[in-house]
Amino acid sequence: MSYAQNPARRLAQEILLFHRRIGAKRFLIGSALMGERVPEIVSQVDELLQQMEGASSIELVPAEGILESSDAVSVLASADAAILVVRAKRTDRDFVKEVRRRIEQQDIPLVGVVCSDFRERVPKIVRRIFRLP
């Protein structure tokens, strides 16, 4: 099963890896705006994590609409690591940059990006911002 076919499984594996490497227990899974499928992704990943050995202490914190939420700073501050959800070909570049800036201001490692509605490859905006090939 490839990453494109089951991104939730791949994300769960990456979260477990970062949990083991840096000891992170609270992972914020957030998006710039509402409607980016964060609750669905969190539910899928949480279900998979419960089946993995060594993942029982991991907590997922959903944070849909970081730029629209008035309590975003407190939500960000409660996390050990962050994963950003972007919608392929729909999430605006400036929103992604602003969320990344806010996460970095809180000294929280941004450990990954999930592209929902992913069809073929990583969107140009994500490749540019995170300097991917």
Q: What are the structural domains, with CATH classification, of the chain?
A: 7-129 (3.40.50.11410)
Which amino acid appears at position 68 of this protein?
E
Inter-residue contact 110 to 79 (CB < 8 Å): no
Residues whose CB is less than 8 angstroms from the CB of residue 30 and which lie 6 or more positions away in sequence, other chains included: 38, 62, 63, 64, 66, 75, 76, 82, 83, 84, 85, 99
pLDDT in tens, 14-56: 888 888 888 889 888 887 666 667 788 888 888 888 888 888 8
With tokens 């914020």, the residue in question is: 28
User: Directed axis angle between helix 38-50 and helix 7-22, to 10°?
Assistant: 70
pLDDT of residue 4: 46
Q: What's this model's pTM, rounded to 2 decimal places?
A: 0.72
